[in-house]
Amino acid sequence: MKRLLIFILALLLDGFDLAYSQHIQNLNFEKAGIVHPNQPTGWSTRWDGFELSLDSLVAKSGKYSLKSTALPGHDSGYAISRQSIPADIAAGKNLEVKLWMRSDQIQNGTAFFRLIAFDDESEVLSSTRGPEKGLPETDRWQQYSASVSIDKQAQLIYLDLFHNGKGSVWFDDIELFTEGEKYDPGNQIFWSLDPAELTFLSNQAIALHSVEPENDFSDLDHLTPLFQNASIIGLGEATHGTREFFRMKHRFVKWFAQEHDTLLVAIEANMPEVREINNYILTGKGDAKEALADLGYWVWNTEEMLAFMEWMKNYNTSGKGKIEVYGFDMAFPSRAADSVLTFLEQVDPVLFDTLQQDYQFPANPSELNRIDDENIIEIHQLTQDVYKTLSENRIKYIQYVNPETVEWAIQYARIVEQAMGRFTPGGKTRDESMAENINWIYFNKSIDRNTPLLLWAHNDHIARSPYWFGGELSEKYGKSYVPVVFSFGDGHYSAVLGPGQPVASYPAPSPKKGSVEYALRTLELPAFALNLRQIKENALGSWLEEEKPVKSIGSVARDDPYKNISLADYFDVLIYFDKTTASRSFGQPAKNN
């Protein structure tokens, strides 16, 4: 049993992002999600081989309970639900939980609930579980309780509900007690701007008169001092599917082109495939829509991105200047590997013959998850050897082709190595590899060395955080790296429910109390920018350096899309839209991840 608990603990830590946190809500499971109407809002859920959903047929009270059921044909699996408990209400206190449970035909597994507290390094400080020996077989509702003293140093506290094995389990009517006093979520006091902070922020806000990439940039000109010495600028997005984010970033690029003539844009897409887009905007050759679909990811396959491509092409033919576009991702290895083989066939036929059979990779990298550790390590070693060989023979290869072709081939070999390394035990993360690729782009750019590099990626990636590539860029480039966070109040966004699922428009919930977006909405402006670097220096703007809930969605639709971050520590500029619409998607491309 002890080994099982250690396994479960590891599973829980791997399954949930500890950065996500929220106020206590929906302890009785009465609120269903908008995106996932069978899921309870306010709970993080994860399952494998199980069905975890709200049950309207069996409930202790009210309309719903939470039901976990093992699916037929699955010999293993689990279901986990997690509720966040704010540290400020439980740290240094005795915390008790009471809840009702029942079961049906539990076999070869267990069900229990757990209270667990972590410090700021995600180390476990204290935990308890109940029932102590797991839930017994019972077709009647039974109330169970457990309590634990929470360390004063606790930063993250969670209530977890767990089930594995056969059968079904129901949970309902949860109560929390601190020092013996029942906690009422309805009495939570939410942070909000005080009148002085609101007045100060209103005076600092730069109203944006349009999201469309027009020629009047008088509003954006207020931000010029922040970007004057910038080498790399990260343009973020709170979702991968918001039209206003696409259009405003298009507008940013057009504004920068007016100031600099020549520009370099790099997007969160695979490097070899984006070269086809670059070829299109430089020469006009090819089909723009096909090039977008060939990126293999629905996020880029949109009307907004197509318009951006056409504008860049027209800019390059206008004689005003030059824009190039790169990709810095490494998710798909097959195109890069094919390019390496094509290069070697020309400059090193012997090595080409040696690698032709083994240097082949699936178009969809998810297939690599099925390869065991021993084989993936062997494959990764091969890719490392190829990258090393090409690098060491750089001078030799330049005798046969131009230096630029050689550098691209070496970089493609690196892309393949990165893609494989991501799947090896202890290998580099995707963000570590993307940071390497951004540095390569910056130092190998073919246009003016003083040309700024504009990055187009999710807010998470560009954030000045050690977990994302923005943290590495900030460490390397200092204040010459300027990350811009994009946020919004509510509206719709394009997203999927999982890999390969259809692209659809989903509603975003209105800003919840205590969140940054809830505060920003009180300015009553449809769109505005904030110079976070400047505002945080004033005592009335210091709240921007405190951890608060901020919306973060990505490509998968979410019902409770918040994570706790210090906005002004992570970003220098904020762009906010009160109402947004979904990007105009062309749908899933034939090749997708």
What per-residue confidence (pLDDT) applies to 322?
93
What per-residue confidence (pLDDT) applies to 174?
97
- Distance between CA 89 and CA 102 in Å, rounded? 29
What per-residue confidence (pLDDT) applies to 341?
98
What SS3 state is found at 166?
Answer: strand
Going from the C-alpha of 29 to that of each of 78, 105, 218, the distances in angstroms are 20, 23, 49
What per-residue confidence (pLDDT) applies to 7?
42
The mean pLDDT of 68-76, rounded to a whole number, is: 84
Q: Which domains does the chain have, with CATH numbers?
A: 2-187 (2.60.120.260), 195-329+446-580 (3.40.1660.10), 334-421 (no CATH)
Reported as a pLDDT band with limits 50, 70 and 90, residue 581 is very high
* Residue 10, pLDDT above cutoff 60: no
pLDDT tens digits along 255-303: 999 888 889 999 999 999 999 999 999 999 999 999 999 999 999 999 9
Tracing tokens 């318009």 back to the chain, one arrives at 307
Going from the C-alpha of 492 to that of each of 243, 308, 529, 559, the distances in angstroms are 9, 21, 21, 12
* Residue 74, pLDDT above cutoff 90: no
- Distance between CA 16 and CA 13 in Å, rounded? 6
Nearest alpha carbon to residue 174 among 94, 57, 45, 64: 64
Q: Helices 469-477 and 430-444 sit at what angle, rounded to 10 degrees?
A: 40
pLDDT tens digits along 146-181: 999 999 999 889 999 999 988 999 999 999 999 999
CA neighbours closer than 13 Å in the CB half-sphere of residue 299: 21
Q: Which is more confidently placed, 498 or 590?
A: 498
* Residue 367, pLDDT above cutoff 90: no
Give CA angle at 215 (319, 258), nearest 5°.
Answer: 45
* Residue 2, pLDDT above cutoff 50: no
pTM of the full predicted structure?
0.89
Would you say the C-alpha torsion 117, 465, 529, 202 has a positive or negative sign?
positive
The mean pLDDT of 205-224, rounded to a whole number, is: 92
| 362-365: Cβ within 8 A, 24+ apart | 362/334, 363/332, 363/334, 363/591, 364/332, 364/591, 364/592, 364/593, 365/331, 365/332, 365/333, 365/419, 365/423, 365/593
Tracing tokens 């049950």 back to the chain, one arrives at 55
- Tell me the three-class secondary structure of 545-585, residue by residue: HCEEEEECCECECCCCCEEEEEHHHHCCEEEEEEEECECCE
What per-residue confidence (pLDDT) applies to 6?
39
